[in-house]
């Protein structure tokens, strides 16, 4: 039990190890079969395609370090900083998901909302779910501006949100909101089950 994230479980199913927070699968082991096709793998793929010359990645929300492992698999020299406020999540990422195996990875234990102000990166990945909850403060024009200001020249940001996908209305509303701060916003649908799925918004200045 965590005072920040609530109930946390590590569940093994075959070759897949899951970090489950509040009943929601928050992360998996990066080297499990098919990880590259799921939302974490797609975040890594889109990040490297959106900014092919990236050298520094900033990840908001650590989870089990799935995205870190997948990024390092594709581009080992990357320098990655992850900001995570829950000490228990950080401990689990090291103890059960092998986070210590990667070089040039820095973990900052702070609230990403304010900590991002002191960071610069080529790519910023926003994956701040706590269980099924996306904290409202991270979906605000103020925070979007913090993310934009943290980007190096020609950098990009990716926001991961779970939205209704059986209509374009909610997706369009989210895209238009991001466009109030960013110059361009691309939309990618991932892991669609029923009428809901992960929507990745690729944002550039």
Average pLDDT taken over every residue of the chain: 94
Domain 34-204 CATH class label: alpha beta
Sequence-distant (≥ 6) Cβ neighbours of residue 126 within 8 angstroms: 60, 61, 138, 147, 157, 158, 159, 160
Please list the residues that pair with 85 across neighbouring strands.
none
Extents of the domains making up the chain:
34-204
Enter the pTM of the model.
0.94
Q: Is the pLDDT of residue 163 over 90?
A: no
Whole-angstrom distance, CA of residue 185 vs CA of residue 156:
10
72-115 pLDDT, tens digit per residue, is 999 999 999 999 999 999 999 999 999 999 999 999 999 999 99
């Amino acid at each position: 039990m965590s005072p920040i994230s609530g109930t946390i479980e590590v569940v093994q199913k075959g070759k897949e190890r899951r970090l489950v927070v509040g009943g929601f699968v928050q992360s998996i082991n990066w080297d499990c079969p098919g990880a590259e096709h799921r939302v974490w793998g797609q975040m890594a793929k889109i990040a490297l395609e959106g900014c092919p010359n990236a050298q520094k990645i900033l990840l908001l929300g650590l989870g089990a370090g799935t995205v870190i492992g997948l990024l390092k698999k594709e581009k080992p020299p990357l320098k990655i900083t992850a900001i995570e406020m829950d000490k228990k999540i950080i401990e689990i990422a090291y103890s059960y998901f092998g986070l210590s195996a990667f070089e040039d990875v820095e973990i900052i234990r702070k609230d990403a909302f304010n900590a991002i102000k002191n960071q610069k990166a080529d790519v910023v990945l926003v994956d701040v779910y706590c269980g099924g909850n996306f904290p409202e403060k991270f979906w605000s024009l103020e925070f979007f501006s913090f993310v934009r200001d943290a980007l190096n020249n020609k950098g990009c940001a990716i926001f991961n949100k779970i939205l209704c996908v059986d209509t374009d209305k909610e997706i369009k509303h989210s895209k238009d909101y991001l466009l109030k701060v960013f110059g361009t916003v691309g939309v990618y649908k991932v892991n669609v089950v029923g009428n809901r799925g992960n929507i990745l918004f690729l944002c550039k200045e």
